[in-house]
Structure 1
Amino acid sequence: MRLKVFDVIDDTLSLLDKNQEHYQDIRREVKAYFNHIFEEDNERIVDINSRIKTKESLREKIIRNRFYINYETPQEILDHLSDLIGFIIECRFIEEEYLILKQLRLFFNNRKEADGYYYNDLNPRVFLDVASQQPQVQKNGFAIYRIDGYYLGERGPINFELQIKALVHSFWGEIEHKLVYKNTNYYVYDDFMKDILASIKANLTILDRQLNIVYDQMQDMSKNDVSISETGFEKLITKAINDLFLMKMNESIGFTLNIKNTSAILGHYIFIKDIRYDGGNNDRISKLFKTFKKLNSVQIDFENAVVLDDSFQSPDIFIHILGNYLLSVINSDYDWFVFFKMLFVIEPGNNMEDFSLFLNVIKNYLVDNYWLNTSFLKLPLDEGQLVHEECAKILAQSLVEIGTIKIIHDDKMIQINKAFVKFIEELETRVISYDDFMHYQQAYYEDWLKQLRIIMK
């Protein structure tokens, strides 16, 4: 005798077929609506994809989610299927996911129904739960922007799901869906595979950030008709710094040191700060090289102490810890002394402001705020924020314990960034509360410091 569950599945799939044309009409209308909402933002939006739930996927979901037990009829199953129709707004970079959510919230926020869903008068048939907490945590522990919605037509509401995904998240989603979600095989090395996949996810996040930086820089260069490549321009800055200060160091103390790494750090820092954050306009580039030219005719003192206000405060715990350490060694560790002497000469204005800006750029390079703030989402919001701060403190204190200028060498910062991403993702699987985190904090710190020492060898 055939099991009843398969009769339920057959009847539901038959009903899906019967309503297919109706669902396709809704899919096209809602997709056109989303295209209209973002029509002036065609640069950020890569594509808006849509689909109707396939028979294969629905068959599996009916069994996996026990719909055949929870609902009495095929119509009830379809009515309660949250992703009967699916939409994905695909954007270029991870940081744009939140910007798109913000835009949707602004657009749908002028009308609210009793069920908590919002709509806009432009199309009163489309409703979105834009006030829901985002991003949401998936079963795999990763975060995703997923919003429930429904279309209210003459036949009643039809549910749909809207996801917002950057290109790397779409790519990751395909990998995970095929290798994990759809893979029912049992492997004795499951934990190993999970670690590998977590590493892939971390590397994709880093790749997204790097591509975002390159894109912004090249866009700015294009707008200002700057033909030199990003790598070429950064090398040009580095060479100018190295040549200038070797000459000035010899004039000041009668010999020179190998400052190639220091010059490379400064070249990268100035490139990121000026090209990315100041817009990379030709005026800023011209001023930079005019500064180099002017410095050729002045003396630079590499013998006497750098004078700075020794009190330094920052609301950011990472910057506060690292900043106070650097101020404590700026005139006792000659590597740091030379670095900041060069920085303060290149950057006009208030030295303490330059010092703070440098620390902010370094922090943004090592720890992406968006990524850190979307970790530990399983914890209550207040506890999650406390854990974020403690994690930033762990990183800052470990850098202070290493102490040498190698902590800001470009190759080391890339390795630190990757390792810290993996470290936090591993913590997310262990930490169940803020108190639990604090109980094991010293052990976590020692584990991270051990990893950091290996990187710094």
Structure 2
Amino acid sequence: MDNFKKLEEAYSNDEFNLKIQKKMLCLENEISKFIEVIRSNPNIHVSKNLEYRIKSRISFLEKVKRKSYDETWEIPNDTEEIEKVICKNLPDLIGFRIKCMFFEDELNIYNAIKKYYNDQKFSELITLNFNENTKQKNGHKIYKVSGNLEDFNFEIQIKCSLHDVWGEVEHKQIYKGMQYDPQIKEKKIITEAIFSVLESSDLQLKAIFEHKTSLQESINSLFFQYTFEQISNEANSVFLANHYLSFFEIFKEKEYQKHIQIFLSKKLNGDKYQRIKLSIQETTSVSVEEFINRYAKFDLEVVNGIASVLYDGLNFEDFIKFLICKVENISINNDKDDEALNISFNDDEDDNTNDTSSEKEAMKNNIFSIYDKSFTKYSPER
């Protein structure tokens, strides 16, 4: 019997497969313990589900031929001895895959395994090798560790979800294509382009995943959910995201945020919200008409509508006055603070008149510079 047939017969033996399964379960238990430990690390996003497999008969025989194991291994005649040769020399007899969320996690988990092993937390029967060539034929890096448990070789691969899916397609369609494919070069180019896209997507997904929503963002989001239907019906539009952003920017001070919180607490408890009366003053630096003519009326009306959910009797003109005076009052208060630190020796009345005019113009420019960020400027062509 030639060596290939000997290997085929030994690998097909049911008792031999049972031995491999027992070793695989021992390893699965050890690696699962490691995963449980690193899952407590907030900087590592690892799946608790460990994947494992024993190399299939077809895959084994294909590898024997491809790697010429039947010619390079010393194959004895005794079946049990042949089994020992397979276990000792086949590097990926048993395979494990640790899955994670992001590409960055692959390296972090690899380093964690190394530390766990160096700290002697794996069974003393397990030997790991961290000197593997981690460069694949496709040129991409793969984090893997080879090991041995009582002369049974195994391999641990670490792959994030995107890498895993891409790798399966690339492995089956490109690396292990079973049939002749005249378009193989084009497919390689396409799969490489897809990999670049996935790497970029990975970075974006990680940024989204790690974004921590603040309490205020959560409150604003809840306010949006409770009021959107009403506002969209009034505005006859569902494209209101920017208007809500403008509203939250304008009403960001603590006193207004408190009103939003009161509104939400009433809603959550099923109670009726009593709208608040805002103090409206006359404008001094910009007229209502001048302000309205500068911006798209629709923008102003929508934000006025959102504000009216909280505030009573807030007609359009009063809302504009409120916007203007809000900036004026802040600026005046800041000026008073500055005056308290400075003493003026200027008694020239003409100079004071000129100063008042320039201050008014400066105030107007300040008001417009602030609201230009919130509202679309009016254009007759729109």
TM-score, length-normalised on structure 1?
Answer: 0.45
Look up the match of 1:54.
56
Q: Assess, with a 3 A threshold, how the Cα gap between structure 1 residues 201 and 121 changes in structure 2: closer, same or farther.
A: closer
After the TM superposition, which parts of structure 1 deviate over 6 Å for at least 4 consecutive aligned residues?
231-234, 240-244, 293-299
Structure 2 counterpart of 1:197, which letter? T
Distance 1:161 1:200 in 2: 27
Structure 2 counterpart of 1:66, which letter? S
Distance 1:133 1:41 in 2: 22
Q: Assess, with a 3 A threshold, how the Cα gap between structure 1 residues 296 and 240 changes in structure 2: closer, same or farther.
A: farther
Structure 2 counterpart of 1:36, which letter? K
Instruction: Return the match for 2:86 from 67, 70, 77.
Output: 77
C-alpha deviation, 1:298, in angstroms:
7.3
Structure 2 counterpart of 1:172, which letter? W
Distance 1:223 1:79 in 2: 60
Q: Does 1:202 align with 2:161?
A: no
Q: Assess, with a 3 A threshold, how the Cα gap between structure 1 residues 239 and 222 changes in structure 2: closer, same or farther.
A: closer
Distance 1:223 1:80 in 2: 60
Look up the match of 1:22.
19
Structure 1 counterpart of 2:11, which letter? L
- Superposed, which structure 2 residues align to 1:349-368 within 5 Å? none
C-alpha deviation, 1:192, in angstroms:
1.2
How many matched pairs? 244
Distance 2:327 2:155 in 1: 60
Structure 2 counterpart of 1:166, which letter? C
Look up the match of 2:362.
none
Q: Does 1:89 align with 2:98?
A: yes
Instruction: Return the match for 1:108 from 117, 128, 132.
Output: 117
Q: Assess, with a 3 A threshold, how the Cα gap between structure 1 residues 32 and 296 changes in structure 2: closer, same or farther.
A: farther
Q: Does 1:142 align with 2:135?
A: no
Q: Classify the secondary structure of the residue corresponding to 2:154.
A: strand
Distance 1:235 1:128 in 2: 55
In structure 2, the gaps of 5 or more residues are 76-81, 226-239, 252-285, 296-324, 332-368, 374-382
Q: Classify the secondary structure of the residue corresponding to 2:125.
A: strand
Distance 1:222 1:99 in 2: 30
* Aligned partners of 1:48 and 1:90 also within 8 Å: yes
C-alpha deviation, 1:61, in angstroms:
0.5
C-alpha deviation, 1:40, in angstroms:
3.9
Look up the match of 1:124.
124
Distance 2:20 2:101 in 1: 29
Q: Classify the secondary structure of the residue corresponding to 1:150.
A: strand
In structure 1, the gaps of 5 or more residues are 111-119, 257-292, 300-340, 346-457
Q: Assess, with a 3 A threshold, how the Cα gap between structure 1 residues 126 and 6 changes in structure 2: closer, same or farther.
A: closer
- Superposed, which structure 2 residues align to 1:55-454 within 5 Å? 55-73=57-75, 74=82, 75-110=84-119, 120-130=120-130, 132=131, 136-151=134-149, 153=150, 157-217=151-211, 220=213, 228=221, 239=246
* Aligned partners of 1:221 and 1:227 also within 8 Å: no
Q: Assess, with a 3 A threshold, how the Cα gap between structure 1 residues 294 and 202 changes in structure 2: closer, same or farther.
A: farther
Look up the match of 1:273.
none
Distance 1:32 1:160 in 2: 14
Identical-residue share of aligned pairs (%): 25
Can you list the C-alpha shifts for 1:19-38, whole angstroms capped at 9, x where unaligned? Answer: 22221111111111111122
Q: Classify the secondary structure of the residue corresponding to 1:78.
A: helix
C-alpha deviation, 1:78, in angstroms:
3.4
Structure 2 counterpart of 1:56, which letter? I
Q: Assess, with a 3 A threshold, how the Cα gap between structure 1 residues 239 and 227 changes in structure 2: closer, same or farther.
A: closer
Q: Classify the secondary structure of the residue corresponding to 2:50.
A: strand
C-alpha deviation, 1:175, in angstroms:
0.8
C-alpha deviation, 1:210, in angstroms:
2.0
C-alpha deviation, 1:224, in angstroms:
8.3
CA RMSD of aligned residues (A): 4.2
* Aligned partners of 1:71 and 1:77 also within 8 Å: no
Q: Assess, with a 3 A threshold, how the Cα gap between structure 1 residues 228 and 40 changes in structure 2: closer, same or farther.
A: farther
C-alpha deviation, 1:89, in angstroms:
0.6
Distance 1:223 1:13 in 2: 63
Q: Assess, with a 3 A threshold, how the Cα gap between structure 1 residues 69 and 214 changes in structure 2: closer, same or farther.
A: same
Structure 1 counterpart of 2:88, which letter? D
Structure 2 counterpart of 1:85, which letter? I
Can you list the C-alpha shifts for 1:166-203, whole angstroms capped at 9, x where unaligned? Answer: 01111112111221122133333322111111112122
Q: Assess, with a 3 A threshold, how the Cα gap between structure 1 residues 183 and 236 changes in structure 2: closer, same or farther.
A: farther
* Aligned partners of 2:38 and 2:112 also within 8 Å: no
